[in-house]
Structure formats: structure tokens, C-alpha cells
Amino acid sequence: MHGTPLLLAVLLLRLGRSSRAGEENWIIEVSGNCSCVPYYLCDNTGYIKTDGVGLLDERTGGENPTFCSGGTHEAELVCCKLRPQAPPSTSTVSTSSDLELFKSPRQMRCGMQRTTIDVRLLEGDDGLSPIDGEFPWMAAIYSRDSSRWKRQGSGSLIHPQAVLTAAHAVPRYRKTDFRVIVNGRIQQSEIGTDEEQERAVRAVLRHPNFQSGTLYNDVAVLVLEEPYNLTATPTINTVCLHPNASYVGKRCVVAGWGEASKGLPSSTARTSVPILRKLELPTPSPDNCEEMLQKTYLGVKYQLHESFMCAGGEAGKDACRGDGGSPLVCATAPNETALYQAGIVAFGVGCGKEGIPGVYADATHFYQWIVDTLQKLNITL
């Protein structure tokens, strides 16, 4: 109790320097070892949310929260504690330098396009799309609800018999409820009629540590009933994966069939047949991305999970709703002709907002899990 007079003296000194509401909050924070934050950033155990989970739900901190002064609405601010940091993960990413690029029987190298990238931004060329073969690994994923097929998400062909996608894009349906179409344009009413570009799904392998609330470890692999014949279909190819590449500071390309009004240009506004769109995005470091996301409603305590990477932050240029699972691809070096998958579209705070990048599952982070998971099925990358 010897520190009580000193604390009171400091409190009195601060009372003369700032507003009453600010001082009341400061006293609450000091005495309660907490921070005043909007109520929706305080979970039901009394700790500040750092993972973004449940931000669309109205929740208060703990059973008996301490309310702070200020804010726009009554009881808007509560005093919430910062959760103790967990010890750093001991898991490591493979550092092997011997990467064997998958080759088809015709020795087609992975990640090779059939044409040079011609980046089209959100604002222009809304009626155009990449030509056939420009993204020969792009996969549209469909699911069946009763007798109706609907587009569930996107993915990338990483092996003639395997598609990489986001775990959130493939809920736990029966395996017969999924169909994959690689680099094809087909109306939903025609699904089941294209033997060359369409495949049924044999197995859906979601990451065992996927969390639907936070989207941590948002990765899944679809194993196809039949492999694609890359020799017979020149507009289909696999994308490359790298075990330890860094894509920070590069400009990478994302393609997808999602919404246009807030992200990639429209895929359905002018035609019932989905049309693939693309654009180029910068890739900030995880620290810079985290700082930008902390300026949004995710809050100043938001922590970017190690399974994520980011791309974007330029006004009007972003992946958006409907692009979940789409691949973000990059070259690993200025003179590299093959493209490697850096990320998998996961989530964003709005679409195409200046200074707010989109968040992607980090494909490099999951390289070893992908390899090991497919190896169990005798599929080798």
C-alpha cells in the first residue's frame, strides 16, 4: 500500500491536464490493468480480441464489464485486458533448396502461361478477360444444393489430380457434391457435360487446424476422381509451389470470378457464363499489413496470424466476395518465367479500399503440409 499516495498524486496531476472522460478512463485502466476499447473488441472472457473473430456479433467483455466514459453511444467502451502472449511456435517451414518442379508427360513445366500477363485494372476493360491459357491452373469449384449447382469458390491446379483452395470455400459437404472445372467457361446448367475440363471430387482435405471464426490455416486440397491429361489439353497446366520463397515487396497477380463493384472486375454483370478477371497487387510485409489492418474495425490489438500473408492496399484494386480460394501468383525472380503460388484468397476488410490490403492464406507456410497430405495418397508434387 506504500504506492497509494504516489498513485493519487499522479492521478491529481493528470486530472489537471486532460478531459474528465479521459482521466476517468485512465484511472480505470491503471486500477484494472486493462485498456478501454469498443465493446465488440472485448470477448466474453474479458480479453481484447486480437484475431478478429466474431466482430459481426454484439458482445460485451465478461459477465460484469467495467464501462468507460466517452464514445458515440452509451456503454460503447469497456475496459478489457490484453491476453498474455503465447510462447512462439516451434514449427518451422522447410528450408530445402532442392525443389523439383512438376512436369507432365510432355515435360510442360509448372507455372508456365500460354501468353504474357496483360494486367487489367478494376477501372478498365470490364468486358475483357484473360485469354485461354493465361492462367491454365485456375479452377472453378461448384457444389450441388439439391438439384442445383452453384459456384462455391476458386482454386488452383497444383497437380493433375489435386486442387488447392481455401478451407472456408469448401464446407463439409459429401464428396459427390463437388465438381471442379479448370480453365473452362461453362454455364452452371451444363455442369456434368464437359469431360475434358471438368472433374468430380474424390476427397476434400481441409487443414486440421483450420478455424472458421478467425480463418487461421485457411487451406484445403481437393483430390480429383480422375487426373487431368496435361498432354491432351494444352490450355491446362499446374501452378508452381515453393517451400521457402519470400514474396514481400513484389507485385503479384490475383485472378478470380468474384464481385466487381468492390473488387475484381465483374464476372457476371454482362453474361450468365462466369468470366475470369485479373489484376496486379503489391505485397506488404506482415508487420506493415498488421499495422494497416489495426486501423480498421479489427482494432489496434489485432494480430496477423502466421498462416496469413497480404496483398493490395491500392484503391479500387482487390479480390472480393466470390473470390475465396483464388490463387495469388508471383515470379520468384525478375527473370523467372514460371509463376509460383504465394497466397490463397481468404478475407478482407471491405474491398478495394485505399490502405487496406486483402488477407491471403500463405501458400509457402503450408507447403510441407500440402506435400505430406498428398503423399499419404501416393500423389507426389
- Sheet of 66-67, strand order: 35-38, 77-80, 66-67
CB atoms within 10 A of CB 301: 17
Averages of pLDDT over each 10 residues, the chain, 381 residues = 49 50 74 77 78 46 65 69 61 34 49 56 40 81 82 93 95 74 72 78 94 94 94 87 94 83 44 70 97 95 96 92 92 86 94 93 98 95 87
Query: Across the strands, what pairs with 182?
Result: 139
The reported pTM is 0.73
Contact indicator for 228, 100 with CB cutoff of 8 Å? no
pLDDT in tens, 37-64: 777 777 777 787 777 665 432 233 345 6
The set of cell numbers assigned to 197 is 475440363
Return the closest-CA partner of residue 313 out of 361, 258, 260, 352.
352
Q: Is the alpha carbon torsion for 132, 160, 346, 116 positive or negative? A: negative
The set of cell numbers assigned to 101 is 518442379
User: Got the DSSP string for 233-285?
Assistant: -TT--PPB--SS---TT-EEEEEES--SSSSSPPSSSS-SS---EEEEEE---
Phi (first) and psi of residue 53, to 5 degrees:
-70, 140
Distance of alpha carbon 240 from alpha carbon 329, whole angstroms: 9
Give the number of residues written for the chain. 381
pLDDT in tens, 129-187: 555 568 899 999 998 877 778 888 899 999 999 999 999 999 776 655 889 999 876 66
